Chains A and B, each alone.
Chain A
Amino acid sequence: MSDNDILVEVRDLKVHFPIKRGVLFDRVVGHVKAVDGVDLSIARGKTYGLVGESGCGKSTLGRALLQLTPPTAGEVSFDGVELTTLASGKLRNMRRRMQMIFQDPMSSLDPRQNVESILTEGLQTHGIGTDRTDRRRIIGETLDAVGLPRWALSRYPHEFSGGQRQRIGIARALVLGPELIVADEPVSALDVSIQAQVVNLLDELQDSLGLTYLVIAHDLAVVRHISDTVGVMYLGALVEEAPSDRLYTEPLHPYTRALMSAVPVPDPDVEDRRERILLAGDLPSPANPPSGCRFHTRCPWAQPTRCADERPVLRDIGVSRVACHWAEQIASGELRPHGVSAQIVRPEGEGDAPAVVSAPTEPGSYV
């Protein structure tokens, strides 16, 4: 793949949130390593899917990529431009080319703005369109593209159903003519029948406009359906990255295997036949991640000392990238899974973990 085909390149990205304690003087007592060293690249016109369970850092990664949450370290280059060091004015201009779709359309749209005002705001900020009629034309075309009627313009968000609201959210992102769209859980707040409408819409828009997507979701089936490449995150790091078909037929990382086997499939025959890999216990706290391989505390294939001592790096195995010391041995069946006893995991900020996580700098950056 030549450099020209890569739209977004992320190198060793880290986002650490300080944990503070104390009444008068905030002492930093630790860090929540939400994203801890992620490398990935997104090809132009393709969809990169990011999956993981809650708290794995997938949303933070998406926001850090758009510079909505300032990264602690690492580089993000968008179409050859380094974003992390860009001056704020220039960054603002770049923002036109990369937009975001949020999970909950009700809380991401201003309830006091009608649809026309929501859509015009971005156009005005970026100086797109010569006058009001020109802007109206652009907005009209966008509405057609997302399948909303023209009369929607004078309505307010609460007058729409969930699926239509999400279409407004998509139109808001689309109206600026972006190249990259980061969609954070775009369908998880919607009912199944509506979910499919939005998934199809995203697919159609990509075909007609040549958009590049970064889709962040916890639902593996949705991500697999719309992505070309899927990255699986666990505790702030990628554990596996593979073409989406490959990931399903041949998951290499133990966590991916467990995740795949846990997703219910709406087919009784498949459900009765499949073997479940049940993981013991809960996700460890990202403030105090396990040593070595982060997954070793729950991994049924974990081997003594190496998994606990040495953090595996992403390495190429075939077309996949996997962060596991024993991926080949597990795939060949040389290593057998063993029982794991559950360890107690405290919810954020409880028990032994530090007490207060500092307030996020932007609203919603912990969501």
Chain B
Amino acid sequence: MALLEVDDLSVTFARRGQRAVHAVDGVSFSVDAGEVVGLVGESGCGKSVTSLAIMGLLPKQPGLRVGGKAVFDGTDLLQLDDRSRRDIRGRDIAMIFQDPLSSLNPVIPIGLQVTEVLTRHRGMKGAAAAKEAAALLDRVGIPDPKRRLKEYPHQLSGGMRQRALIAMAVACQPRLLIADEPTTALDVTIQAQILELLKELVRDSGTALLMITHDLGVVAGMCDTVNVLYGGRVVETARRRPLFRQPRHPYTVGLLGSVPRLDAGRGEKLNPIPGSVRDLLPWPDGCAFAPRCARRIDECVGEPPQLVHTHDGRSYRCVNPEPVPGTVPAPREEEQA
């Protein structure tokens, strides 16, 4: 059984006098133990809201509705009360955020922030906790860790802050690590260091990693399975290689065609997706991508497209997918099933 099974997760923000926003609409995916799973998409596709909903970190405001299930090791995280959720958070599931400066407390030394986790979940105190914290900082590659413990977040560079955040996340050897754009705020050489560190942690400790990113390059180098999100829905799920070699959903195709590649020649034209994410059909009548899609047919705008599972374990949500070269497109009726 999968370690984390997200099933039909939906998040709606309703406000008085305004149309409700379906940030996440029926997202399902699973993460196996030791696996690296990617959630990829552009801004506003619902990838971060998905992770916050799983962790129970969405602000409790009137109008927020979370539906569906997120089963972690047999318990539905969405049904838990705050106390038992806090027991799981940090111990079994930990999270790394995009901006390390705003997710670290600026007025508390790094050491205290790391030992806080150790005290809460592992019952360590005093010198033992400090020693363990130094060992953790050392493990994530922070030089001279004993001195760093007494320092404040602003005294560290961006890369070091992100390392400190990772140290806090792995302090209890969680079984699932959720990384929300962990390298977006960093320079490329520092990004390479952090990605290497994450790979190492996954390899050595068997932690599963849910990687949320907009960068297809990062996905290509890290993830075992990739979920592509658009407009709050998973539009395509596949293993890493098949996805990049042969994307089926037009959005995935468009995304891959838009990225300038370092190994492509000068003057090769990019194939951008026309329009912008704001071009939405009145929800939920049809595919969210239809207004920008080059393969749009009449069936696209009628009703929301169903998830189609193929025999090789991939799935996509499209009624007129990119054909596989060398095969006859499957008849439409079969795809509707």
Partner among A195, A224, A258 whose Cβ is within 8 Å of the Cβ of B189: A258
The answer to whether A364 has its CB under 8 Å from any CB of chain B is: no
The reply to whether B272 and A194 contact each other, CB–CB distance below 8 Å, is yes
A-B pair count, CB < 8 Å, reads: 159
* Cα distance, A272 to B217, chains bound together (Å): 12
Contacts of B278 in A (CB 8 A): 161
Contacts of B159 in A (CB 8 A): 282
* Cα distance, A258 to B187, chains bound together (Å): 12
A225-B266, A263-B188 as given contacts; A193 in contact with B273, CB under 8 Å: yes
The answer to whether B334 has its CB under 8 Å from any CB of chain A is: no
**A182 CB → nearest B CB, Å:** 20
The reply to whether A267 and B220 contact each other, CB–CB distance below 8 Å, is yes
B174-204: CB near A (< 8 Å → 1, else 0) gives: 0000000000000111111101100000000
* Cα distance, A193 to B272, chains bound together (Å): 5
**A184 CB → nearest B CB, Å:** 16
The answer to whether B302 has its CB under 8 Å from any CB of chain A is: no
A155-173: CB near B (< 8 Å → 1, else 0) gives: 0000001111000000000
The answer to whether B130 has its CB under 8 Å from any CB of chain A is: no
The reply to whether A262 and B219 contact each other, CB–CB distance below 8 Å, is no
A191-B43, A228-B266 as given contacts; A53 in contact with B216, CB under 8 Å: no
- CB contacts under 8 Å to B, within A301-353, are 341-347, 350-351
Contacts of A245 in B (CB 8 A): 265-266
**A190 CB → nearest B CB, Å:** 9
Residue of B nearest to A192 (CB): B258
The reply to whether B155 and A351 contact each other, CB–CB distance below 8 Å, is yes
The reply to whether B217 and A199 contact each other, CB–CB distance below 8 Å, is no
* Cα distance, A192 to B272, chains bound together (Å): 8
Residue of A nearest to B260 (CB): A225
> How many B residues face the partner with a CB closer than 8 A?
55
Contacts of B156 in A (CB 8 A): 347
Contacts of A225 in B (CB 8 A): 260-261, 264, 266, 268, 270
The answer to whether B323 has its CB under 8 Å from any CB of chain A is: no
The reply to whether A224 and B260 contact each other, CB–CB distance below 8 Å, is yes
A192-B42, A344-B144, A346-B155 as given contacts; A264 in contact with B270, CB under 8 Å: no
The answer to whether A222 has its CB under 8 Å from any CB of chain B is: yes
The reply to whether A342 and B217 contact each other, CB–CB distance below 8 Å, is no
Residue of B nearest to A52 (CB): B187
* Cα distance, A261 to B261, chains bound together (Å): 13
The answer to whether B254 has its CB under 8 Å from any CB of chain A is: yes
The answer to whether B257 has its CB under 8 Å from any CB of chain A is: yes
The reply to whether A266 and B216 contact each other, CB–CB distance below 8 Å, is yes
* Cα distance, A228 to B265, chains bound together (Å): 11
* Cα distance, A330 to B116, chains bound together (Å): 47
* Cα distance, A86 to B160, chains bound together (Å): 45
The reply to whether A268 and B240 contact each other, CB–CB distance below 8 Å, is yes
- CB contacts under 8 Å to B, within A253-267, are 258-267
Partner among B157, B218, B271 whose Cβ is within 8 Å of the Cβ of A345: B157
The reply to whether B188 and A347 contact each other, CB–CB distance below 8 Å, is no
The reply to whether B187 and A264 contact each other, CB–CB distance below 8 Å, is no
* Cα distance, A161 to B159, chains bound together (Å): 31
The answer to whether A218 has its CB under 8 Å from any CB of chain B is: yes
Contacts of B258 in A (CB 8 A): 192-193, 195-196
The reply to whether B217 and A265 contact each other, CB–CB distance below 8 Å, is yes
The answer to whether B277 has its CB under 8 Å from any CB of chain A is: yes
Contacts of A163 in B (CB 8 A): 276
- Can you give 28 A-B contacts (C-beta < 8 A)? A53-B188, A161-B277, A192-B255, A193-B42, A193-B258, A193-B273, A196-B272, A197-B272, A200-B272, A218-B188, A221-B260, A221-B262, A225-B266, A245-B265, A261-B192, A262-B191, A265-B263, A266-B220, A266-B256, A267-B244, A268-B221, A279-B189, A279-B192, A282-B157, A282-B159, A283-B187, A345-B157, A351-B155
Binding site for B on A (CB under 8 A): 53-54, 161-164, 191-197, 199-200, 203, 218-222, 224-228, 244-245, 248, 258-272, 276, 278-279, 281-283, 341-347, 350-351
Can you list the 10 inter-chain pairs with the closest CB atoms, starting with the nearest?
A264-B217, A196-B272, A262-B192, A196-B258, A266-B216, A271-B221, A225-B260, A53-B187, A196-B270, A193-B273
* Apart from A197-B272, A282-B190, A347-B157, 11 more pairs, CB < 8 Å: A192-B42, A196-B259, A197-B274, A200-B269, A203-B269, A219-B260, A225-B266, A264-B215, A267-B263, A278-B189, A350-B154
